[in-house]
Structure 1
Amino acid sequence: MSTIHLHRTTILTPEQFVAGLTDFGPGRSKLFSNSADGYLKVHHRSHSQADVTEGSGGVWERLHYDWSDPGHVVLTTTDSNLWGGASGHAYTFTRRPDGTTDIDVVVVREGKNLRGWILGFVLGTIGKGVLEKAFENSVKAIQTRNGAVVPSGPSGRPALAAIR
């Protein structure tokens, strides 16, 4: 089992990020590259929970989304071709005094077969950078979607890249 911790500081509010995270409409892959439209199926959705199948590249999982606590969103894997056990994602949002938001994500990958075990091991070791890049791209895409202007840091690069 691999547990991966990710962190980003963003100019988004927690509500803006959660709105992107829970938008299961067409074009979701523009926000989350591992959620191709061809895999996406919403089985059920309420005001604070959803049951969704998503994936890409031959990997899929059915997730129970729970955003009833706006500071902590939990995605629990209920079925998958690779993941089982304690697999899922947990997002924690912390508002900072400067108006930015810290997003901390814990991704758990417990393989339910040999392929899942191997991929989980790779993601937990040398593959962590792939998840970090995907998460950073999702934050940037949701910022763009919200028309958020990212202030430049001292190097002229976006402040998001400088904050980490």
Structure 2
Amino acid sequence: MATIHLHETTTATPEQFLAALTDFGPGRSKLFSATSDEFLRVHEQGPTFADVTEGTGSAWERLRYDWSDPRRVVMRTIDSNLWGGASGHTYTITRNPHGTTDVDVVVVREGKNAKGRVIGFLLGTVAKGVLAKALANSVKVVEARNNPLPTG
């Protein structure tokens, strides 16, 4: 089982980051590069939770999102073609006094088959940078959504 810790600081507010993280509409693939809008399916959604399948044809998971504490979003894997057990993601979103926001992410990958175990091992070791790059991209997308460049 791999547990990966990631961190980014953003100019987006915690509310803006939470809104993007819990927006399951079209364009989600821009925020999460490992998600295809074609595979996105919202099974159920309420004010502080969602049950969503997302990913691609080669790697997908059904996640139970819980943001009842708006500073912490817990995404627990309830089904997947690769991940089982304790797999999921936890985002902790912290407002800084100087106007930025810290985004700390813990990704747990417990492979439920041989392919999942190999990918989980790689993500926990040599491929951790792939997840770090994906988080950095997500932060850039959230910032661009909230601070669009002026058109001239």
User: TM-score with structure 1 length normalisation?
Assistant: 0.88
Report the residue type matching 1:136 in the other structure. A
1:74 correspondence with 2:70: no
C-alpha displacement of 1:36? 0.5
**Residues of 1 paired with 2:21 and 2:82: CA distance?**
22
Matched position secondary structure for 1:38: helix
**Residues of 2 paired with 1:96 and 1:14: CA distance?**
10
Cα deviations by residue, 1:118-157 (Å, 9 ceiling, x for unpaired): 00000000110000001000000011011168xxxxxxxx
Residue 139 of structure 2 corresponds to which residue in structure 1?
139
The answer to whether the 8 A contact 1:12-1:148 is kept is: no
Residue 36 of structure 1 corresponds to which residue in structure 2?
36
Residue 16 of structure 2 corresponds to which residue in structure 1?
16
Aligned pair count reads 149
Query: Kindly, what percent of the aligned residue pairs are identical?
Result: 66
Report the residue type matching 1:128 in the other structure. K
C-alpha displacement of 1:27? 1.1
Matched position secondary structure for 1:132: helix
**Residues of 2 paired with 1:28 and 1:97: CA distance?**
30
C-alpha displacement of 1:57? 4.9
Residue 51 of structure 1 corresponds to which residue in structure 2?
51
Report the residue type matching 2:146 in the other structure. N
For the aligned residues, what is the CA RMSD? 1.1
C-alpha displacement of 1:9? 0.7
C-alpha displacement of 1:95? 1.2
C-alpha displacement of 1:13? 1.0
C-alpha displacement of 1:14? 1.0
The answer to whether the 8 A contact 2:61-2:81 is kept is: yes
Cα deviations by residue, 1:36-71 (Å, 9 ceiling, x for unpaired): 011100000001100000002510000000011011
The answer to whether the 8 A contact 1:7-1:103 is kept is: yes
1:90 correspondence with 2:90: yes
Report the residue type matching 2:41 in the other structure. K
Runs of 4+ that moved beyond 4 A: none
**Residues of 2 paired with 1:21 and 1:103: CA distance?**
11
Report the residue type matching 1:145 in the other structure. R
Residue 117 of structure 1 corresponds to which residue in structure 2?
117
When residues 145 and 6 of structure 1 are mapped into structure 2, their CA distance, relative to the original with a 3 A threshold, is: same
**Residues of 2 paired with 1:6 and 1:89: CA distance?**
11
Report the residue type matching 1:3 in the other structure. T
Residue 103 of structure 2 corresponds to which residue in structure 1?
103
